[in-house]
Chains A and B, each alone.
Chain A
Amino acid sequence: MAGLSFVLAAGKPVLLRGPNGVGKSTLLRALAGLVPCTGKVEIGNVALGDEDWAEQLAYAGHLDAIKPQLSVAENLGFWAGLYGGDAGAALAVFELEPLAGRLAGDCSAGQKRRIGLARLALAKRHLWLLDEPSTALDAAATALLAKHITAHCAAGGMALIATHTDLPLDAETLTLAPPSAKTADPFLEGAFV
């Protein structure tokens, strides 16, 4: 991926679009700091690579990061232990209280998604990086998700959401296009004897 430059403003979420394989997930992981990249990324005074970069963001990837052997409440309790925040309140945000005692492995795909997304409600973070969050969610749950993304942005947060589907959100769009020029690979330079 090359030549990417953009400004993400607070107040409105941004949908990240593009064909399969163009690198939406990779971009989100790079912004999270999991994949190395060259270039500058900043939120206020904090830059990518600083120690407290990870505190600026909340990431929800393809995988839900749920432990099937633990109950829903225990899963959220673990994340609350790591990140801080109120597990009970997070449960309420995505209407998961009735499931609190159930083993996460017994939940449906949509419920698992909601549990994973509930992690976002734990600690207040500036930037939300979401990778296909509405997968497996029904209309009601999608509406709930949209409501919370909007609330987060209205409160001064930023959100970058990779998605193939249309979300009921008032959002900007950032579209990634496949690279036109061949990417530089040191093994392709020059002629070999």
Chain B
Amino acid sequence: MSFWEFANPARFMRLSGRILPWLVALAVLSLGGGLIWGFFLTPDADQFGSTVKIIYIHVPSAFLAINIYFMMFVTSLIWLIRRHHVSALAAKAAAPIGAAMTLVALVTGALWGQPMWGTWWVWDPRLTSFLIMFVFYLGYLALWAAIEEPDKAADLTSILALVGSLFAVLSRYAVNFWNQGLHQGASLSMDAEENVSDVFWQPLVLSIIGFFALFLVLLLIGTRTEIRSRRLRAMLMQEAN
């Protein structure tokens, strides 16, 4: 059975319905396990104090925020080339999750930085790039909401996702350039985790898996809802004829 057979809405519904309960279990176990382990069962780091524990939320959410955008790029491309409805609806369902993840990354980033740097926000390249990405997500969501005809909405939002992805990458470099010349205190760096020992690393991995599973659960539920909504629309239109 080829991967493209998932493109059929009915088949997608059947398959997603079957794996969803397992995914929910995986999400609850790994996310719950990772967070509890990370927050309560690891020692406080000497240098950073207990606030560093926030990386168990910050790192996975940031990781997902970027990867969801990439996923939207791919699914948008698939819609434009092969016109598989499930692909377009998956992108539509992923966007709010991505936006939420970006927001979580921004807030936890600020929370992490505040005790150390004394301010709630710094225009450090990473945070700034995430802020720009958040605005991209908002624009994408707004465009979906503004256009009534579903196929046209899928087309236009897909083109936006492609162009937006290109500009998100461009912005990353531009923001780095922009930040170079400014004198700042040490900027908030996620490289901190590279120096982190295994004790912290393992629950982090579990957290990341948990967030990823959470994303899949929410994605499948969201896509299923979109598919049902399209079916409803098709049925109503047919009745009208």
User: A residues bordering B, Cβ < 8 Å?
Assistant: 178, 182, 185-193
Q: 6 new A-B pairs (CB below 8 Å) besides A187-B85, A187-B234?
A: A182-B238, A187-B233, A189-B9, A190-B9, A193-B13, A193-B17
Compute how far the CA of A186 lies from the CA of B5 in the bound complex, rounded to whole angstroms: 13
Residues of B within 8 A of A193 (CB): 13-14, 17
Q: Answer yes or no: B172 CB below 8 A from chain A CBs.
A: no
Residues of A within 8 A of B9 (CB): 186-187, 189-190
Q: How many of chain B's residues touch chain A, expressed as a range?
A: 10 to 19
Whether B8 and A188, one on each chain, are in contact in the complex, defined by CB atoms closer than 8 angstroms, is no
Whether B230 and A190, one on each chain, are in contact in the complex, defined by CB atoms closer than 8 angstroms, is no
- Which of A178, A185, A190 is the one whose CB lies under 8 Å from B11? A190
Question: Would you list which residues of chain B between 186 and 241 have a CB under 8 Å from chain A?
Answer: 227-228, 230-231, 233-235, 238, 241
- A179's nearest neighbour on chain B, judged by CB, is B241
Compute how far the CA of A192 lies from the CA of B17 in the bound complex, rounded to whole angstroms: 10
Residues of A within 8 A of B14 (CB): 193
Give me 22 A-to-B residue pairs in the complex whose CB atoms sit less than 8 angstroms apart, sorted by A's number: A178-B241, A185-B234, A186-B8, A186-B85, A187-B9, A187-B227, A187-B230, A187-B231, A187-B234, A188-B235, A189-B9, A189-B10, A190-B8, A190-B9, A190-B10, A190-B13, A191-B10, A192-B10, A192-B13, A192-B227, A192-B228, A193-B17
- A190's nearest neighbour on chain B, judged by CB, is B10
Compute how far the CA of A182 lies from the CA of B238 in the bound complex, rounded to whole angstroms: 8
| Shortest CB distance B78–A (Å) | 15
- A191's nearest neighbour on chain B, judged by CB, is B10
Whether A188 and B13, one on each chain, are in contact in the complex, defined by CB atoms closer than 8 angstroms, is no
- B84's nearest neighbour on chain A, judged by CB, is A186
Compute how far the CA of A186 lies from the CA of B86 in the bound complex, rounded to whole angstroms: 10
Whether A188 and B17, one on each chain, are in contact in the complex, defined by CB atoms closer than 8 angstroms, is no
Contact with A along B160-172 (1 / 0, CB 8 A): 0000000000000
A-B pairs with lowest CB-CB distance, top 4 = A190-B10, A187-B231, A193-B17, A185-B234
Residues of A within 8 A of B10 (CB): 189-192
How many A-B residue pairs have C-beta atoms within 8 angstroms? Tell me. 35
Question: Would you list which residues of chain B between 30 and 67 have a CB under 8 Å from chain A?
Answer: none
Residues of B within 8 A of A188 (CB): 231, 234-235, 238
Compute how far the CA of A190 lies from the CA of B85 in the bound complex, rounded to whole angstroms: 15
Compute how far the CA of A149 lies from the CA of B25 in the bound complex, rounded to whole angstroms: 71
Contact with A along B68-103 (1 / 0, CB 8 A): 000000000000000001000000000000000000
Compute how far the CA of A19 lies from the CA of B17 in the bound complex, rounded to whole angstroms: 43
Residues of A within 8 A of B241 (CB): 178
Residues of A within 8 A of B85 (CB): 186-187
Residues of B within 8 A of A187 (CB): 9, 85, 227, 230-231, 233-234
Residues of A within 8 A of B235 (CB): 188
Question: Would you list which residues of chain B between 1 and 25 have a CB under 8 Å from chain A?
Answer: 8-11, 13-14, 17
Compute how far the CA of A187 lies from the CA of B234 in the bound complex, rounded to whole angstroms: 7
Compute how far the CA of A81 lies from the CA of B227 in the bound complex, rounded to whole angstroms: 47
Residues of B within 8 A of A178 (CB): 241
Whether B8 and A189, one on each chain, are in contact in the complex, defined by CB atoms closer than 8 angstroms, is yes
Residues of B within 8 A of A186 (CB): 8-9, 85
| Shortest CB distance B5–A (Å) | 12
Compute how far the CA of A167 lies from the CA of B233 in the bound complex, rounded to whole angstroms: 39
Residues of B within 8 A of A192 (CB): 10, 13, 227-228, 231
Residues of A within 8 A of B234 (CB): 185, 187-188
